[in-house]
Copies of this chain bind each other. A is one copy, B any other.
Amino acid sequence: MGTQLNSIESVKEYLIDKGINPSFQRLKIYEYLAKTITHPTVEMIFTELAKEIPTLSKTTIYNTLNLFQNSGIVSGLTIDANEIRYDPETRVHAHFKCFKCGSIFDIPVEPSYADMVIAEEHEVKERHFYLKGTCKNCLKAIET
């Protein structure tokens, strides 16, 4: 998972292991996701990587992220309409989105948490927990 992949070499091995042909663009996109904690949108990924890869197109980013999602190594977060954010962390955790500054924070969850929703007889494959409100940074800014 994301956090241990600090070199291009280890990203390469990781993608191969997941059955994904490690093209230059795919490596760079996964590497960027793995080192970024902000759960970026396609726009953010594009803006950042286009500095290094001037020929990069958003279509490739969309293609690549869809491929990553289908391979189960990235999940798409639809915390708000009109933007998908991408997360290379596949363990169960929650997300907090701040109304004011728009930041998204990872929030740890109790280990037993995931089991507390009884899904009747449905077969559950994904669990998403989103909290929204005002983040501690913005609260601090208001106080003063």
Number of copies: 2
CB closest chain-B residue, reference A85: B81
Question: Could you tell me if B132 and A119 are in contact, using CB atoms closer than 8 angstroms?
Answer: no
Interface of A is mostly: strand
For chain A, the count of residues having a C-beta within 8 Å of the partner chain is 41
CB closest chain-B residue, reference A134: B123
Minimum C-beta distance from A100 to chain B (A): 10
Q: Interface with B: A6-14, A26-34, A108-116, which one?
A: A108-116
Question: Could you tell me if A116 and B123 are in contact, using CB atoms closer than 8 angstroms?
Answer: no
A interface with B by C-beta (< 8 Å): 76, 78-84, 94, 96, 98-99, 105, 107-110, 112-113, 116-136, 139
